[in-house]
Structure 1
Amino acid sequence: MSTPTPTPTPVTALARRWRLEINMGTAETPDWQLCPGITEFQWTAPPNHEDSTSYDTDGWTENTKTSQSWEVVSTFNRKTTKDATAYSAVHEKIRLAAFAYDDAHEVHLRFMDRNGLPEAYEGRGLPAWEPQGGEATALDQVQTTFTGSGPLTPITNPLTGGGA
């Protein structure tokens, strides 16, 4: 009689598992760089369902997915060089895009489980830049909301070693 293999005890995933990266290059030659200093991260991708019930359903409601939207909200501590002469290049790209128009207002981003689990997504979003202010002892924080422009695509997590 063989000894049964013990089942591992599951552990709860932590909210800080998310890693946000911004493409600092082009679509043809991406240069993915970490958005540093994130203190909060939430994302949603709610579908739009429309009632498609007909007489043929014997009184049961039917629904049809007609569209989907997505949004990423992150708060981060502003980062500067040690001599305080420049901000993080990634933070600056987001800030400048928030004040731009047309294609310059769109940011190519991806986010993934930093532990290498399979959950990872990529898309283009329109950023809002919202400094959080605070008292004299507060950190300089900014909340950014990326409103999806086009699809949010599940990708292979680049941190698993398989590439994206």
Structure 2
Amino acid sequence: MSTPVEPDVTALARRWRLEVNTGTAAAPAWALCPGVTEFQPAAEPNIEDSSDYDSDGWAGNTKTGQSWELSATINRKVKESTKVYNPVHEALRLASFAYGAASYVHVRYMDRSGLPEAYEGRALVTWAPSGGEYTALDQVEVTLTGNGALLPIENPLAEGGA
């Protein structure tokens, strides 16, 4: 009797988990960004034409740079009894109004089931409340524009991870 073959299943978009370092670079304190309803990471290369006469008419291309950005929609979370917004949401909001070092956040995102895809970097924050009708939730469009490298990291949620 043959062993049944396990079918591949399609990963879901909600597999992503976003965390913000609310500590320091020396002593990171990673905190979940709750309420994410939409998540769109992008890491686009800059490709320049490097064609020359020696390629017999075939085009050449060279990667000369890379940028990254992450867009997320979040449902704003608040502690109703104390009238305090979620501290991660507040860290993002306040960074969007700051200048210099205070305008950057240290973030990481990973597959929440522990699969190997995970990344870390520093980014500028754009904070744009969605507004809406009287029945709408308080949602915010957050854009994280990378400053420097987006580094692949070992997924901290992987079995045996941090």
Q: For the superposition of Structure 1 and Structure 2, which TM-score range results when normalised by the shorter chain?
A: over 0.9
Do the aligned residues in 2 keep the contact of 1:156 with 1:162 (CA within 8 Å)? no
Structure 2 segments unaligned to the other structure (5+ residues): none
1:120 partner letter: A
Please name the residue that 1:54 is paired with. Answer: 52
Please name the residue that 2:27 is paired with. Answer: 29
Equivalent positions of 1:71-90 (< 5 A) are 71-90=69-88
Equivalent positions of 1:15-164 (< 5 A) are 15-163=13-161
CA distance in 2, matches of 1:29, 1:161: 23
1:92 partner letter: E
Give runs of ≥4 in structure 1 deviating > 4 Å.
Answer: none
Structure 1 segments unaligned to the other structure (5+ residues): none
CA distance in 2, matches of 1:20, 1:92: 15
RMSD, matched Cα: 1.1
Q: Tell me the secondary structure at the aligned position of residue 156 of structure 1.
A: coil
Give the TM-score of the pair, scaled to structure 2.
0.97
Q: Tell me by how many angstroms 1:161 deviates.
A: 3.2
Q: Tell me the secondary structure at the aligned position of residue 14 of structure 2.
A: helix
Which structure has the highest strand share of the two? 2
Give the TM-score of the pair, scaled to structure 1.
0.95
CA distance in 1, matches of 2:2, 2:50: 50
Segment of structure 1 superposing worse, 78-87 or 109-118: 78-87
Q: Tell me by how many angstroms 1:83 deviates.
A: 1.0
CA distance in 2, matches of 1:138, 1:107: 28
Identity %: 62
CA distance in 2, matches of 1:43, 1:156: 17
Deviations 1:14-55 (A, max 9, x none): 000000000000011000000000000001001011011111
Segment of structure 1 superposing worse, 80-89 or 118-127: 80-89
Segment of structure 1 superposing worse, 145-154 or 75-84: 75-84
CA distance in 1, matches of 2:160, 2:46: 33
2:43 partner letter: A
Do the aligned residues in 2 keep the contact of 1:109 with 1:125 (CA within 8 Å)? yes
CA distance in 2, matches of 1:26, 1:161: 26
CA distance in 1, matches of 2:83, 2:27: 28
Q: Tell me the secondary structure at the aligned position of residue 70 of structure 1.
A: strand
Q: Tell me the secondary structure at the aligned position of residue 46 of structure 1.
A: strand
CA distance in 2, matches of 1:162, 1:109: 21
CA shift in 2, pair 1:130/1:124, >3 Å: same
Matched length: 162
